[in-house]
Structure 1
């Protein structure tokens, strides 16, 4: 090779290197929709969703998803929304911050922490929210549907902050915020056929996810499957648990605890058209009364599989043990509580209603508590379809 040819070759090599370098620096890397999701999530798949719909609900359950039917893709999108802190104004709080899977989607704190302080009522457990009579939500039943309920914490000034108090924290600003995140257009397209984030889509998907959270694999369920009769002694129960079951299901006038009057099994949800239960406290303010609490979560999963409470009890978190709860219903003081549910009256005296006095023995109280612990399942605490889908930082 001559000297001139050698110089030309070197020049061509340099120019091609420069060209390739420029091309590499300017070309945009186009990710597939699944690759976009893989950058953010552990197990969100566009081709195979985790199973949310058509799950095995025992045939003895009377109230099946009193909201809309659960669909896999909507529940999957709802799961992402449920765990996404971008749904709060300062990116610090998600729905899962106050509804924790390891506590049956309840909260160990008395008052849940929001973006601007703490809540005024204790956060309900969400397990089996769709398996009960009625369609109202919150302690005071102010939401007429689950779709209505899921937006209210987002719009609450204290909880998640999109209250509409200024132009930067309206629901429309939330929509714009989520639209700008690369994974929501992908997920909304999968569910709704286009990439547009909408308030209606947020509501529907969150409702689908919450409705999917169910717990029907408890010791109680095992016993009911074996016998087919809730009033028959269960062979898998201890003598104490069977005595507690009988106390629970026997009306107070017949010597039982009468719990069944308000929390009938096998759902153990609160009945419709119930009134105040005698607990009227207000969180963090002993000088105020709160008479508006007529709805409660199911008695299922009051405790975790180890028997530990999944959070304090009642709307004001005033009771910290199952024994305190049993003692409350054993002897109700109704002073200044004229809205008490009539089912909790023992009589009506000259000065008005008299609260029930069950006169349970200490052994009966223990039996009742042991039965309540049999209502806790297992999979709700660990199943990945209800877990945090986001990739956690190392």
Structure 2
């Protein structure tokens, strides 16, 4: 936490200096009013810290990260041994899968080419920057209570890492009952000498447990970060990192009200909101979220890499997302979930009135949150000898 607080303090100093420079330059260009509203921007949206906080009970080591990477790519963790974490969280797809609803067990192929009849209930969130989930501008963040999933049902990467294994649609399938799945996985791992040795080297003892599996996977996931986008560089002091349209979009993003929910370094308040996204027609029944169709505010980082959007992938492009919010603001009920009324939608979503020029600027700004410089390496093999990443090759 000390490193995080020190970083944020330094960030605010450099931001103030950068703004003075930008204001000075813009005066000479006749565009000073563009910057009138960004003096306190660090209290609304902010750059990501250089380092990710790590829980005290799960310190990072190179050996643990490597073990976690092997487990992340190894389908040995799935009931049918055909799906790995990486199947739906692949670096070529921004550590998501480019599908509206993920295809888990019994599927074949990668991304848009994946085929199967078993659909997950929701769109796959990217792994990128999940190590920062829950972070606020005031550095009040603990990795032990970081909200995960579209409904915040897990509160750390460690807790999140194991839940997809239990889902019959995602990784478990139907061959192994849920109540014995973990024991089955441990027995499998104990039969592989490379894993037995790796767990002993990392944890200092031969016994393998699901808690250790989760700690290793979480340690690997904390290395998948992208914290040097044009926006991050701009706020840190590089006044040339964003172009004029993106700067205009940043101001519009705040003025229109997008930052009421998409705030902080991750551009998310990590709260649950009802915004009225219609059900995905591929699902056999409605998905009401936690209650009254509430879902967590997603991060806006690296969105160009992780389409489609919303909790069920119902919007294929950022333009569609913005048009949806504009329709909601206008009270148009044609495109909202049929199970709720316009009055059920969060007032923060109903205020987002935008014309086409503003929409274009905001999309340009969102694209400035993209950082493609993250670990995309894929292991050549995994200790089980199974196909790396599961059945992802057609």
Could you tell me the TM-score, scaled by structure 1's length? 0.70
What is the aligned partner in structure 1 of residue 164 from structure 2?
Answer: 153
Question: Who wins on radius of gyration, i.e. which is larger?
Answer: 1
Q: Secondary structure at the match of 2:304?
A: coil
Superposed CA offset, 1:26-45 (max 9, x none) = xxxxxxxxxxxxxxxxxxxx
Q: Secondary structure at the match of 2:301?
A: coil
Higher relative contact order (CA 8 A, sep 6+): 2
Task: Note if contact 1:121-1:283 (Cα within 8 Å) is conserved in structure 2.
Answer: no
2: distance between equivalents of 1:212 and 1:237?
Answer: 26
2: distance between equivalents of 1:113 and 1:169?
Answer: 23
Distance 1:92-1:325 versus aligned 2 partners, 3 A rule: same
Unaligned runs of 5+ in 1: 1-53, 228-233, 251-256, 305-309, 345-354
Distance 1:71-1:365 versus aligned 2 partners, 3 A rule: same
Distance 1:357-1:200 versus aligned 2 partners, 3 A rule: closer
Residue correspondence of structure 1 range 100-179 to structure 2 within 5 A: 100-115=90-105, 117-133=118-134, 135-161=146-172, 165-166=176-177, 170-179=181-190
Q: 212, 218, 221: which one pairs with 1:201?
A: 212
Task: Note if contact 2:105-2:170 (Cα within 8 Å) is conserved in structure 1.
Answer: yes
2:374 corresponds to 1:380: yes
1: distance between equivalents of 2:93 and 2:62?
Answer: 24
Task: Note if contact 2:252-2:362 (Cα within 8 Å) is conserved in structure 1.
Answer: yes
Superposed CA offset, 1:236-261 (max 9, x none) = 322211111111122xxxxxx21111
Unaligned runs of 5+ in 2: 12-47, 107-117, 135-144, 389-394
What is the aligned partner in structure 2 of residue 23 from structure 1?
Answer: none
What is the aligned partner in structure 2 of residue 65 from structure 1?
Answer: 53
- What's the Cα RMSD here? 3.0
What is the aligned partner in structure 1 of residue 363 from structure 2?
Answer: 369
Distance 1:321-1:162 versus aligned 2 partners, 3 A rule: closer
Task: Note if contact 2:272-2:297 (Cα within 8 Å) is conserved in structure 1.
Answer: no
Superposed CA offset, 1:171-217 (max 9, x none) = 10110101112210121011011232211110111111122211112
Distance 1:343-1:69 versus aligned 2 partners, 3 A rule: farther
Offset at residue 283 of structure 1 (A)? 5.6
1: distance between equivalents of 2:297 and 2:191?
Answer: 37
Superposed CA offset, 1:294-320 (max 9, x none) = 22442110014xxxxx22001111000
Q: 180, 197, 212: which one pairs with 1:186?
A: 197
